[in-house]
Amino acid sequence: MPQTLIIGAGQAGLSAAAELRKRKYEGSITLLGDEPAAPYQRPPLSKAYLSGETPLDRLWLKPQAWYEKADVDVRTGVRVSALDRSASEVITADGDRLAYDHLVLATGGQARRIPIPGADLPGVFVLRNLAEADGFSDALQTAQRLVIIGAGYIGLEVAASARKRGVDVTVLEAADRPMARTASALLSGWFGAIHRGYGVDLRVSTPVSGIIGQTHATGVELADGEHVQADLVLVAAGLTPSTQLAEAAGLAVQDGILVDNQARTEDERIYAVGDVARFDLARYGRSVRLESVQNAIDQAKAAAASICGQPTVYDPIPWFWSDQYELKLQIAGLIEGADQMVRRGDPEEGKFALFHLKEGRLIACEAVNSGPEYMAAQRMIAQGVTPDPERLRDTGVAMRDFLS
Ligand SMILES: Cc1cc2nc3c(=O)[nH]c(=O)nc-3n(C[C@H](O)[C@H](O)[C@H](O)COP(=O)(O)OP(=O)(O)OC[C@H]3O[C@@H](n4cnc5c(N)ncnc54)[C@H](O)[C@@H]3O)c2cc1C
């Protein structure tokens, strides 16, 4: 009987297991994860779980009974320490050896730490997993002043959740605008204003040089020497992909494990999926490592299809969402490379969409509280639509009119 081993019991690992069974894979499936918990959703950790609106039991990706029914052997608290490719085995931290015919690396990543003095002080947190979220949430209960280093999505979502819990929040961002890595300047500026409106002290172009404190963090030192006081510091500086196993086993790694459009590494029995994988996104003509639920699910499906001998080509339109206060931001496609932006709706009303075109063709859409625009944009990008900008701007023209 063939055996598939999956390392990493997160969204991508679980999705690979589920898709294998959906495609009637008849071999054994073992899902190994080093966290104590069964696979859970990470997005609420900075949103509704942190603000207290979503309880723990709503985080599980599958109920316990599913694993038995699907015959997926999920083993939590098991860390894989090495791959032995010549023996087709993985070696756990306890020294156990497990054989595989196919191996899926779904190891995700860890919150990036920043190499500044004081970064290891008690009271300094990162947020990637449930244990970190619980520790941070407990500390937030008695904190009055939170400083967040980094104004990416997680930093801003935590800022919104902490404001809901009545905490004073300062966000320090080295770049000249929030969400600079993926959002347009207009969207960044608009979200920045929203946060300031909710009382967040959001400072851009503000690099930090250290965290202050003797036995516990008491503040943050800025590069210009100013001190910002804090009871609690969250470092929200992005993700370091967990590529060590692949690298030590001689697989190609470049800020992510390199895979093809079936999620295969250069070793045809080994796949990599989710946040840890880098691949060529043909549709956008560039190499990407995507950190999103969409990618974790769909790339894992591609790997499972290939393992089942039913290969598909993975060339997605990336999509992502972020919840901040009462705002739902949804992004379809990648903005980089766009040469024209069309705004539909009024930002003053808290409901608008920004369409990004390249040589007339729609390549991305940022939608705020605008579900129909976002849904239509996904299909328009897939269809390669070249919309008339004037009509696109006109909210009197229905979005469906742009679809063939
Ligand atoms: C706070 C937060 C908010 C987010 N919000 C959004 C959002 O709004 N929208 C969105 O689309 N995406 C969001 N994301 C991103 C999304 O959650 C990730 O893209 C997705 O979880 C990636 O899944 P993954 O399975 O690739 O990696 P992970 O979820 O990181 O899972 C990898 C698992 O592998 C384990 N592992 C690693 N190495 C080993 C080893 N050697 N042995 C055993 N186990 C190992 C890890 O501990 C981990 O449990 C958010 C992420 C975070 C942290």
Q: Whose CA is nearest to atom 6 of ligand 1?
A: 43
Residue with tokens 């055996």: 3
Q: What mean pLDDT comes out for the span 174-182?
A: 96
Give the Å distance between the CA of 173 and the centre of ligand 1.
23
pLDDT at 113 over 90: yes
Cβ–ligand 1 distance for 74 under 6 Å, the answer no
Q: 30: closest CA among 94, 89, 95? A: 89
Give the Å distance between the CA of 145 and the centre of ligand 1.
28
**Residue from 14, 83, 107, 323 whose mutation best tests the ligand 1 pocket (most atoms within 8 A of CB):** 107
Which of the four pLDDT bands, split at 50, 70 and 90, describes residue 10? very high
Give the Å distance between the CA of 358 and the centre of ligand 1.
32
Q: Which domains does the chain have, with CATH numbers?
A: 3-110+240-307 (3.50.50.60), 113-235 (3.50.50.60), 326-402 (3.30.390.30)
Give the Å distance between the CA of 83 and the centre of ligand 1.
21
Six-digit token pair at 386? 């070249």
Give the Å distance between the CA of 256 and the centre of ligand 1.
14
Cβ–ligand 1 distance for 32 under 6 Å, the answer yes
Distance of CA 13 to the CA centre of its chain: 14
pLDDT at 404 over 80: no
Distance of alpha carbon 251 from alpha carbon 82, whole angstroms:
12
Which of the four pLDDT bands, split at 50, 70 and 90, describes residue 171? very high
Distance of CA 207 to the CA centre of its chain: 23
Cβ–ligand 1 distance for 45 under 6 Å, the answer yes
Q: What is the pLDDT of residues 335-377, one digit of tens each?
A: 999 999 999 999 999 999 999 999 999 999 999 999 999 999 9
DSSP-derived 3-state class of residue 399: helix
pLDDT at 315: 97
pLDDT at 55: 97
Report the mean per-residue pLDDT for the chain.
Answer: 97
Q: CB within 8 A of 328, min separation 6: which ones?
A: 321, 322, 368, 369, 371
Q: What is the pLDDT of residues 16-42, one digit of tens each?
A: 999 999 999 999 999 999 999 999 999
Q: Which atom of ligand 1 is nearest to the CA of 14?
A: 25
Say what the pTM is.
0.97
Q: What mean pLDDT comes out for the span 110-115?
A: 96
Distance of alpha carbon 96 from alpha carbon 164, whole angstroms:
46
Give the Å distance between the CA of 166 and the centre of ligand 1.
28
pLDDT at 76: 98
Helix ranges, 169-254 (H)? 185-197, 244-248
pLDDT at 53: 93
pLDDT at 198: 98
pLDDT at 318 over 80: yes
Q: What is the DSSP letter of 402?
A: G
Residue with tokens 């897939």: 382
